[in-house]
A and B are shown apart, each in its own frame.
Chain A
Amino acid sequence: MQPFIEMNKLNLYYGEFHALKDVSVQIPERAITAFIGPSGCGKSTLLRTLNRMNDRIPGARVEGRVAIGGIDIYSGEVHVESLRKKIGMVFQQPNPFPKSIYDNVAFGPKQHGIRGKKKLDELVEQSLRSAVLWDEVKDDLRRPALSLSGGQQQRLCIARALAVEPDILLMDEATSALDPISTFKIEELTHELKDRYTIVMVTHNMQQAARVSQQTVFFLNGEVIEHDATRQLFANPVDSRTQDYISGRFG
């Protein structure tokens, strides 16, 4: 498969702290790649290097190369806002804006200059359908987003991310704050989305990685320990640390 996201000798420092060490990973297009590893090993940090959200953290410094579709996203020519438009992100805690459901989904497109009620209505409906939330909210899109349940809020956040028509979806432990049923719904959803989007998900739930991803990267202390097809990695891990982790001996 053609690699879509390529990280090459990527290093990230938070001040003195070396958070990502020589990370080289290739992520295929239109598939789900899962990053697993114990808490604090740098999964979120890595995810944030992909849409340059680390730019917002004072003292964070990136070295090495990250290319998406062949373009080095840390080169001077890249416009950060346009980059982020192409890369949706879903966070650990559902974080819909304190606005209506409609305004949440329409927010991104509006910031990127899409005007006109008809076009926005269409985008909102289409995004909510893609996030399998439409049927639950279509009766009152003016409802405050914060009145939805946690699982619905997270799907709303996915819809909001999809509304700017990204190519990539980053999900940072997007189900860890949710109940099993909501988790299941979102896993189902990612399964449907993977035909249209390149999904990179961080999870510390190994069963989830095994259930939904095609590729799995095992991460420890800022280093890539093992990267393989998910089935392969869980069935025949090469590194003993991977073996220890997936058999639940630590983490």
Chain B
Amino acid sequence: MIDMNPSTNSKAPAELGQSFGKTSGSKFDRKARLRWSNQLFRMICIGSALFVCLVLLCILVLMLRTGVLTFSNVSLTEFFFSTNWDPENEHYGALTFILGTLALTSLTMLISIPISVIIAVFLAEMTPKWLRNLLRPVLDLLVGIPSVVYGFLGLTLLIPWLRNLSGHDLADGLLAASIVLTIMVLPTISRISDDAISAVPNKYRDAAYALGANRFQTVFRVVLPAARSGIMYAVILGMARAIGETMAVVMVIGNTAQLPNSLFTPTAVLTSNIVMQISSVEFDSTWNYGLYMMGFILLAISLLMIVAVRILQKKGGRYS
């Protein structure tokens, strides 16, 4: 054992010995100090966790407190099960927006997950190094582009193209919005999945190839399953972004409070409706409360989806 007690070599002339003596002190030994700093660190961790929960709770309460005021004038059934949103004439049915958000998010994920995973597989497993080194930073840049820009692209390029393709006079609607959202979340999902796939240890690939598996089998039956939790995480992030995205959606969805009968019919979702109306409503009107309630529903949907994905992941993740 090395003697760490500075009092025994107090005669040591070296500065190191001196400073050692100062910081550790004679009574306050290393062990106690360690225990104390461990405790402190624990407290900080617990404290920040509690703080985060508190913030989340505050947000929920804040939205809900104003939101529930809706129901002093509107019945629950009307709000949740009617598609008639016409506040000027006292109709407050929010079902169109709720369904719209669910449909838009699902459609977006349906398109973007397969494409993103294929891009990620390409980046991580098949692309030559120089191309990978080019594409990764480009994708990272795309993540940071403001959503209005994507909205403009949708307006000027996508919508005219969809009009031609579908023959509708207005092509604004769920398809246009979900394509714009797909382009927005694609870089996020594919880059995080790419990192997850790249992090799969080579020993699994070696094992698969040594068994005579080909590249396709190795990637799809070994590498992707091993990267599953990382890909799930990427999907959650992408989905959270898609649910909450407002600007780009407002620009291409058509903003009409009607249940769409096709993917090319103008409609509205929770976010687009809130942002279109919130600045023109009176502060203590039912209309305003209704928009708050819709904000709360948005929050609830995104939290529920994230929890659902977590549960799915836990179930599937037994072997990882």
Contact = CB atoms under 8 A, between A and B. Distances in A.
Contact of A91 (B207, B222, B319, B320): B207
Given A111-B217, A157-B207, A97 B212 contact: no
B319 A84 contact: no
Interface string B186-207: 0000000000000001011011
A90 to B, nearest CB: 9
Interface string A133-149: 00000000000111000
B318 A84 contact: no
Interface in B204-255: 204, 206-214, 217, 221-222, 225-226
A157 B213 CA distance: 15
B210 A97 contact: no
Chain A CB within 10 A, most for which of B211, B213, B214, B226 = B211
A122 interface: no
A89 B212 contact: no
A84 B217 CA distance: 14
A107 interface: yes
Chain A CB within 10 A, most for which of B203, B206, B212, B221 = B212
Given A98-B319, A100-B319, A112 B204 contact: no
A209 interface: no
A108 interface: yes
A91 B204 CA distance: 11
Interface size class of B (residues with CB under 8 A): 20 to 34
A244 interface: no
A97 B213 contact: no
A82 B319 contact: no
B249 to A, nearest CB: 38
A97 B207 contact: yes
A99 interface: yes
B212 A95 contact: no
A111 B226 contact: no
A89 B213 contact: no
A111 B213 contact: yes
Interface string A76-106: 0000011111001101010111111001000
Contacts of A91: 203, 206-207, 210
A161 interface: yes
A111 B211 contact: yes
A85 B211 CA distance: 6
A93 B88 CA distance: 71
Contacts of B213: 81, 107-108, 111
B209 A95 contact: no
Given A81-B212, A107-B221, A98 B207 contact: no
B206 A95 contact: yes
Contact of B211 (A98, A145, A161): A161
Contacts of A157: 207
28 contacts: A51-B210, A56-B209, A81-B212, A81-B214, A84-B210, A88-B211, A91-B206, A91-B207, A96-B207, A97-B207, A97-B225, A97-B226, A98-B204, A98-B319, A98-B320, A99-B319, A107-B208, A107-B211, A107-B213, A107-B221, A108-B211, A108-B212, A111-B208, A111-B217, A111-B221, A146-B319, A157-B207, A160-B207
Given A81-B213, A91-B206, 13 more contacts: A85-B211, A85-B212, A91-B207, A96-B207, A98-B204, A98-B226, A98-B320, A103-B319, A108-B211, A111-B221, A112-B212, A144-B318, A146-B319
Interface of B: 201, 203-204, 206-214, 217, 221-222, 225-226, 318-320
